[in-house]
A and B are shown apart, each in its own frame.
Chain A
């Protein structure tokens, strides 16, 4: 549509092209109207609320975050949890994606389905499942006690450990899916070429295969990390009040204190950190197909 029209009917063609462009823009307008009204406007409003109170411009909401120990510890908890869950997702998710990529088609499709079923299962259902499994008289503790491995039930849930396990369960598929999509596209000839040139299987993996899988790995990692930063449900139920994330603090500020300034400033920080992480990753790695996998 960008070619320049010449000749007698040039003006008519240009007018047609313009009409067509306007129509295409028009087609996108309902979507952007909804996004504008229900996302950009309210979020912009919250930005405003975070820096203006009854007295005018104030940075009190942001100052509080860097001086008050309660806030500092929330940031630390959220960050530690996210780093830990992301690292574990990479360590446990990479072998799964790698295995599926090398399996024969039928077995690969079965394994992929097994990864997708928990992915599509409602978040609250999985949270409930972990409560059942990890609680004092839950599945894990009763099995371990029946086998005589332990005498006293282990404290597996309502703490940091339970939260980590629950989040890991949710995040592994987010790592596996983009990584697997990347691995499937890797040309096996590179691996064969490395082998035929005398590289050991270990060297082939580390020096040929792994670098080729970096785009998918980076996309999965950034996705996992960013989603982890915003977690609310899992720490709420599996943390037992011992784990407070940024999202939980935002909810408390609204529901308990009606403190919109405090809540929105935390939200703004969370959002800015999210964008910064994305930006940083996209500078470092070619993030392919970042948006191709999504979930609730």
Chain B
């Protein structure tokens, strides 16, 4: 059915161009996968032979394992810190009514607006004074700060499509504020909260520049380690770790699409 009076023939160029651009976006990501299964040190495409050599190298390397474990730990802790904090802030800012509400609503987005490199050297400078460089708490706090806007924006959007009167009813019937929030509001905004948490996790897991300044050695995160590896030589071990990360990112997209679906039905 063509409801827009433009014959399909005339749209052909559009589909062609659109398909080309999408190919440009997707193919480079996918090309890494076969290379990771190659059996030679050469970065050939398509590889002449296949093996699990680079995955074995990855699993056998203490450095990569430690970096992956470090990243996972930091990302989980970041999510645990940023999600409740950001949710509380989103709730407070949504209800508002106190002084500077408008200004604070803008300021909460600041981590997205300040160039990352400026944030990174600023935190590096601060941590040098406080002795927090190369510490887990330092990394988690920095990543949580960077993740806060994602949680606040996501939960804030959820609260805008939620009817706050329900919570007021619960409270007028005798529930404490916290109980009313937990029993009535939270279940209804749980998908935005979850997608905020997921964004916080990914933003920490992928964060390169701040980690580059404030972590190193045994505290290197996975992106920090990849950064060094890319600088030294580009061998297929990185393809193997990349393939794992690509699988994770595809998983993320699927989960996010699932959490967004109910909102579309309204």
Interface residues of B in 230-259 (CB under 8 A from A): 230-231, 234, 238-239, 242, 245-246, 249-250, 252-254, 256-257
Other A-B pairs beyond A132-B45, A139-B45, 8, CB < 8 Å = A1-B95, A96-B18, A98-B18, A109-B257, A121-B245, A132-B35, A192-B5, A294-B150
B230 touches A42 (CB 8 A): no
Q: How far is the CB of A288 from chain B (nearest CB, A)?
A: 13
Question: Which residues of the other chain, B, contact A278 by a CB distance below 8 angstroms?
Answer: 113
Are A201's CB and B10's CB within 8 A? yes
CB nearest to A110 among chain B residues = B22
Residue of A123, A131, A271 near B115 (CB, 8 A) is A271
- With A191-B4, A270-B118 as known contacts, state yes or no: A28 contacts B92, CB within 8 Å: yes
> Quick check: B125 and A45 within 8 Å, CB to CB?
yes
Contact check, A102 vs B242: say whether CB atoms are below 8 A apart: no
A93 within 8 A of B: yes
Given contacts A99-B14, A191-B4, contact A132 B246 (CB under 8 A): no
Does B152 reach chain A (CB closer than 8 Å)?
yes
Known interface pairs A24-B97, A93-B21, A292-B153. Does A201 touch B104 (Cβ–Cβ under 8 Å)? no
Given A27-B91, A31-B152, CB of A122 within 8 Å of CB of B249 = yes
Determine if A129 is an interface residue (Cβ-Cβ < 8 Å): yes
Which A residues lie within 8 Å of B246 (CB)?
A: 117, 121, 125
Inter-chain contact B121/A263, CB cutoff 8 Å: yes
The smallest beta-carbon distance between A217 and chain B, in angstroms, is 16
In the bound assembly, the distance between CA atoms of A40 and B119 in angstroms comes to: 9
A38 touching B145, Cβ below 8 Å: yes
Chain A interface residues (CB < 8 Å from chain B): 1-2, 20-28, 30-32, 34-35, 37-43, 45-46, 92-93, 95-96, 98-100, 102, 109, 111, 113-118, 120-133, 135, 137-139, 142, 169, 172-173, 188, 191-192, 195, 201, 226, 229-230, 232-233, 237, 247, 250-251, 254, 260, 263-264, 267-268, 270-271, 274-275, 278, 291-292, 294, 296
Interface string of B44-73 (1 = CB under 8 A from A): 110000000000000000000000000000
Chain A residue contacts of B238, Cβ below 8 A: 128
Interface assignment of B80: CB less than 8 Å from any CB of chain A:
no
B165 at interface (Cβ–Cβ under 8 A)?
Answer: no
The minimal Cβ–Cβ distance linking B178 to chain A, given in whole angstroms, is 10
Q: Would you list which residues of chain B between 55 and 113 have a CB under 8 Å from chain A?
A: 85-86, 88-89, 91-93, 95-99, 104, 107-113
Asked if A128 and B242 make an inter-chain contact with CB atoms under 8 angstroms apart, the answer reads yes
- Cβ contact within 8 Å between B28 and A129: yes
Q: Jot down 5 A-B pairs with beta carbons below 8 A, ordered by A.
A: A24-B92, A113-B257, A132-B31, A169-B24, A230-B115
User: Are A38 and B142 in contact (CB-based, < 8 A)?
Assistant: yes
CB pair A294 B112 closer than 8 Å: yes
Contact (Cβ within 8 A) A96 B32: no
A100:B18 contact, CB within 8 angstroms: yes
Question: Across the interface, do A232 and B209 meet the contact criterion of CB distance under 8 Å?
Answer: yes
Shortest Cβ distance from B94 into chain A, in angstroms?
9
Task: Identify the closest chain B residue to A237 (Cβ).
Answer: B230
Identify the closest chain A residue to B113 (Cβ).
A274
With most chain B CB atoms within 10 A of its CB, the pick from A30, A96, A129, A232 is A129
**B153 proximity list for chain A (CB < 8 A):** 291-292, 294
Chain B residues near A34 (CB-CB < 8 A): 85, 141, 144-145, 148
Question: A27: which of B42, B89, B124 is its contact (CB, 8 Å)?
Answer: B89
The 3 closest A-B pairs by CB, nearest first: A42-B122, A99-B18, A27-B92
Residues on the B chain within 8 Å of A264, using CB: 118, 121
Q: Which residues of A contact B119 (CB under 8 A)?
A: 39, 42-43
Known contacts: A39-B110, A195-B5, A270-B117. The answer to whether A296 contacts B18 by CB under 8 A is no
User: Known interface pairs A31-B148, A117-B250. Does A126 touch B28 (Cβ–Cβ under 8 Å)?
Assistant: yes
Decide: A294 and B199 in contact? CB cutoff 8 A.
yes
Q: A10 CA to B213 CA in the complex, in Å?
A: 56
Cβ contact of B25, chosen from A31, A133, A172, cutoff 8 A: A172
Q: How far is the CA of A25 from the CA of B159 in the complex (A)?
A: 17
Q: Are B14 and A296 in contact (CB under 8 A)?
A: no
| CA gap between A108 and B116 in the complex, in Å | 33
Chain A CB count within 10 A is highest, among B4, B124, B252, for B4
Tell me the bound Cα distance from A95 to B142 in angstroms: 38
Choice from B44, B112, B121, B239 contacting A267 with Cβ under 8 Å: B121
Complex CA–CA separation, A152 to B173 (angstroms) = 79
Q: How far is the CA of A32 from the CA of B142 in the complex (A)?
A: 13
Task: Choose among B6, B91, B231, B252 the residue with the greatest number of A CB atoms under 10 Å from its CB.
Answer: B6
Contact A124 B230 (CB under 8 A): yes
Task: Kindly state the separation between the CA atoms of A127 and B253 in the bound complex, as whole angstroms.
Answer: 20
B123 at the interface (CB under 8 A from A): yes
List, in ascending order, chain A residues with CB within 8 A of B208's CB.
123-124, 233
A124, closest chain B residue (CB): B226
Contacts of B177 in A (CB 8 A): 23
A25 adjacent to B118 (CB under 8 Å): no
Residues B32 and A120 in contact, CB atoms below 8 Å apart: no
Q: How far is the CA of A39 from the CA of B121 in the complex (A)?
A: 10
B192 to chain A, nearest CB (A): 12
Q: With A and B bound together, what is the CA distance between A125 and B152 in angstroms?
A: 28
